[in-house]
Structure 1
């Protein structure tokens, strides 16, 4: 996914900077299309390389993503209802009162 995003961003940036360069300095001996495509492809290759590495680093985990999601779904929830939370607080208060006596 990082490589695809990098290629899209690189093509866009290459088009913008390549067009500006061609308008400013001319297309050169190879022509407009060849010069613009060289800008776009080199920019896309650089962006996709670095974004692919970044996405690999970000998603580096011991479990594949689908197994990690299943593991998180099967864990007992840490969120409790208000009534359960209030009952737990009351129990702790009672335990503290008994402990202080």
Structure 2
């Protein structure tokens, strides 16, 4: 059986970069205005805030996209997962069908003279 295709994660979009950089610019600018630029100067301090904020924002968006795409399995793997999972993990209608089947098997076993 060939291995299942795994969807590849895309890189950061322009929107993710812009939002992270803008937030870094705002928070970095506010920090520089409140506490001064420090020994490195204004531009290195501001760029450090901007890049750190962009990286953090992109990291959390990447986690969200992995969580969102985690449940998309090919149909044959989803069927195998449902067959191997416990009855508690199935839907209510599957539970009712399973219960009816067990009742019928129990009735057949009791009514069968041996």
Aligned position for 2:73: 62
The one-character-per-residue Cα deviations of 1:11-70 (angstroms, maximum 9, x if unpaired) are 11100010011111111110111000000011111110110110122123124xxxxxxx
Residue number among 27, 32, 39 corresponding to 1:22 in the alignment: 32
TM-score, normalized by length of structure 1? 0.54
Corresponding pairs, count: 63
Higher percent of residues as helix: 1
User: RMSD over aligned Cα, in angstroms?
Assistant: 1.9
Aligned position for 1:35: 45
Q: Structure 1 regions of 5+ residues with no counterpart? A: 64-101
3-state DSSP of counterpart to 1:55? helix
Aligned-pair CA distance for 1:7 = 2.9
Q: RCO higher in 1 or 2 (8 Å CA, sep ≥ 6)?
A: 1
TM-score, normalized by length of structure 2? 0.49
Distance of 2:12 and 2:63 partners within structure 1: 8
